[in-house]
Amino acid sequence: MIINLNLKIMNNLIKITIIAFSLFTAISSNAQNHKHEHGFKMPALNPKSPLAELSGNHVGIRVPDYAAAIKWYTEKLDFRIIHEWDYADEKLAYLAPPNTNEFWIEILAGGKLSEPIIYDDLGKSLEKAGFHHICMDVTNVDKTVAELKKRGVTIIGETFYLPAIGRKLAFFQDPWGNMIELSELVKK
């Protein structure tokens, strides 16, 4: 009886190990597929820094209308809702792009807000101090811009190539004035 029990435990442990290994392999493979291609020679990491645990997580976006913001980000950009909650007189949510869990935006809706600044010229947007934009990597800016235009998103100015960083760029805003940049690494 003890031998049968030990065999059952061992079989269960083997099954759990196989499942855990399979999950680890799938997660590792997914992480490898979504590595951020930066195009720059990066300086050495500094794991001995007292602040070595700092890592990007999300950007908070203020909007007046929670339902409208959720609708816009999920329908126009195909973002996925990760988590929703209330805080004081605000409604909040974390959202992630359609095919990665590595970057999120946080919708902060409600409360008192000033009027957004809506730009039709990228140069004018650079005159305001403080937060300017979120940047999202894409493999093909032109294709992404075409899709966004089909979805009724207004692109600010023209798509352009910036040689200093080796990227093709485009900008647009959500309806509340939050600027979003699209960036395509151009290999030459």
pLDDT value for 160: 96
Q: pLDDT of 45-97, one tens digit each?
A: 999 999 999 888 999 999 999 999 999 999 999 999 999 999 998 999 999 99
Token reading at 169: 């760029």
Q: How many other C-beta atoms can be found within 10 angstroms of the C-beta atom of residue 15? A: 10
pLDDT class of 126 with cuts at 50, 70, 90: confident
- Model pLDDT, residue 15: 47
| CA dist 105 → 42, 73, 93 (Å) | 25, 10, 8
Cβ neighbors of 176 (< 8 A, separation 6 or more) are 61, 62, 63, 64, 69, 116
HEC string of 51-103 equals CCCCCCCEEEEEECCHHHHHHHHHHHCCCEEEEEEEECCEEEEEEECCCCCCC
pLDDT on residue 33: 47
Q: What is the pLDDT of residues 32-48, one digit of tens each?
A: 444 567 788 889 999 99
Residue 9 pLDDT greater than 70, yes or no: no
pTM of the model: 0.76
Give the pLDDT of residue 124: 87
